[in-house]
Amino acid sequence: MQETLKQQPYAWAIEEFNINGDLVWSSITQFRPTELSWIRDLPSKKHYISITPLFKDESQTEKITGVKSYRESTKRLTEAYGGL
């Protein structure tokens, strides 16, 4: 029997909802928060927070190739128009 490796989350979605269940704000972070002291008004009101792990799905990856660098494009523009 082959042991399946547990996939680690790629990122974390953090969402705060109000008392009615409406989304107040959301954010995606690379690391799971270990504490919530960064919420400024934590002591003054009740918070409804959801922390959801996000997993990478390689089968849904969209590959983009042939993109020119921003630096190269900017250099050509400044040369063509005599600077910015």
Between CA 17 and CA 14 the distance in angstroms is: 10
Between CA 51 and CA 31 the distance in angstroms is: 11
pLDDT at 2 over 50: no
Number of domains making up the chain: 1
Domain of 51, in residue numbers: 8-56
In a domain, 74, yes or no: no
In a domain, 77, yes or no: no
In a domain, 42, yes or no: yes
In a domain, 19, yes or no: yes
pLDDT digits (tens, 9 = 90+) for 19-70: 899 998 899 999 998 877 666 665 667 778 899 999 999 898 888 777 666 6
Asked if 10 and 20 count as a contact pair (C-beta separation under 8 A), the reply is no
Token look-up 């972070």 returns 29
**Res 1: pLDDT:** 40
DSSP string, 12-35: EEEEEE-TTS-EEEEEEESS--S-
0.75 exceeded by pTM: no
In a domain, 51, yes or no: yes
In a domain, 45, yes or no: yes
Between CA 30 and CA 11 the distance in angstroms is: 5
